[in-house]
Amino acid sequence: MKVAIVGATGLVGNVMTRVLEERRFPVTEFMPVASERSIGKEVTFGDRPYSVIGMEEAVGRRPDIALFSAGGSTSMEWAPKFADAGSIVIDNSSAWRMDPSIRLVVPEINAHLLGPQDRIIANPNCSTIQMVMVLAPLHRQYGIARIVVSTYQSITGTGVKAVRQYEMERNDFTLEPVQMAYPWPIFGNCLPHCDVFMDNAYTREEMKLVHETRKILDAPEIGITATAVRVPVQGGHSEAVNVQFRQPFRLEDVREILVRTPGVTVMDDPAHNLYPMPLTAHQRDDVFVGRLRMDESQAQTLNAWIVADNLRKGAATNAVQIAEHMVARGLVGTIPADKIHT
């Protein structure tokens, strides 16, 4: 089982490496891959150092699985080349998510749709993954009419540059100056600005929550509106979600459904100050939900607070789980390279 991590020196790439180790993924040949400026650097996997290789060499070595976390333009250029060489590409960028021919997968929800023809698979956005993990089982039971979501997103979702900006500001700029990731300070601040602003005055991050949620749930009719906020936190993303259902529900039934949902942990005991926080989710793979309560201003509507580690279930762990599913289904290496359609 030859496994490549494209973008191995980045934040998500590092976590992908750790998750492969932790979950004992059956790697027989490990390939850390990155841009030319990182070629020759070392990445440790399984207590052994591996030298970073470039894209051309990685394609030539024909990995069985290529986990991509190297940005959208890199994925658009290189994912088809890996797929044509026989690899299953699991891509963490936004490049392929809304392509109608590409599956957008959260394994607990829709991995059963994957087949041998799926050689490029899209990993959803981190904030989308944690929300649909909680909402998918409720949608199956009650049908969702509308979602209003406000996110409180970790700086790690932006990448290493944002973490360095935060650390510099936290230390009163006594550290060596770094390139700013944000247009304003992030330490001690909140920025209602995740990704770039679009023509409709929403940010791209907000529209990802709209379009990706509809695609994953196969429910284009759901009304969704989002506000995404960057906060000075490193442990994970948080979301305040208000969801209106088409059918009436009882709060105790909602809680029971979520308790039974794999990958979801219910922490909902306000009387004892028990509710999810980024500190709760940090370096853990579950999605945590609490503050479950009826919306007293609107019928058939639920409020929930959802938290997850955006680098793990929001990115690396979800990608590795997709790879595990493909291996378990016997879908790795099942199509000769000259028969693959991408």
In a domain, 36, yes or no: yes
Q: What pLDDT sits at residue 339? A: 40
C-beta atoms surrounding 18 within 10 Å: 17
Whether 295 and 334 share a structural domain: no
Per residue in 16-63, pLDDT tens?
A: 999 999 999 999 999 999 999 999 999 999 999 999 999 999 999 999
Cβ neighbourhood burial of 162 (10 Å; 0-12, 13-18, 19+)? buried
Whether 67 and 149 share a structural domain: no
Strand order in the sheet with 237-245: 223-230, 144-153, 237-245, 301-308, 287-294, 264-266
Whether 278 and 132 share a structural domain: yes
How big is the CA angle at 123 (ends 80 and 315), to the nearest 5 degrees? 125
CATH number at residue 261: 3.30.360.10
Whether 304 and 156 share a structural domain: yes
Does 194 qualify as catalytic in the annotation?
A: no
Q: What pLDDT sits at residue 55? A: 97
In a domain, 193, yes or no: yes
CATH number at residue 327: 3.40.50.720
In a domain, 105, yes or no: no
Catalytic residue, candidates 139, 194, 237, 282: 237
Whether 324 and 282 share a structural domain: no
Does 190 qualify as catalytic in the annotation?
A: no
Whether 302 and 325 share a structural domain: no
> Which residues of the chain are under the pLDDT cut of 70?
333-342
In a domain, 112, yes or no: no
Whether 241 and 197 share a structural domain: yes
In a domain, 121, yes or no: no
Q: What pLDDT sits at residue 337? A: 43
In a domain, 156, yes or no: yes
Per residue in 160-192, pLDDT tens?
A: 999 999 999 999 877 777 889 999 999 999 999
In a domain, 44, yes or no: yes
Whether 36 and 158 share a structural domain: no
Cα separation, 5 vs 52, whole angstroms: 10
Q: pTM (2 decimals)?
A: 0.94
Q: How many domains does the chain have?
A: 2
Domain residue limits at 233: 127-310
In a domain, 108, yes or no: no
Whether 209 and 65 share a structural domain: no
Whether 156 and 298 share a structural domain: yes
Whether 267 and 191 share a structural domain: yes
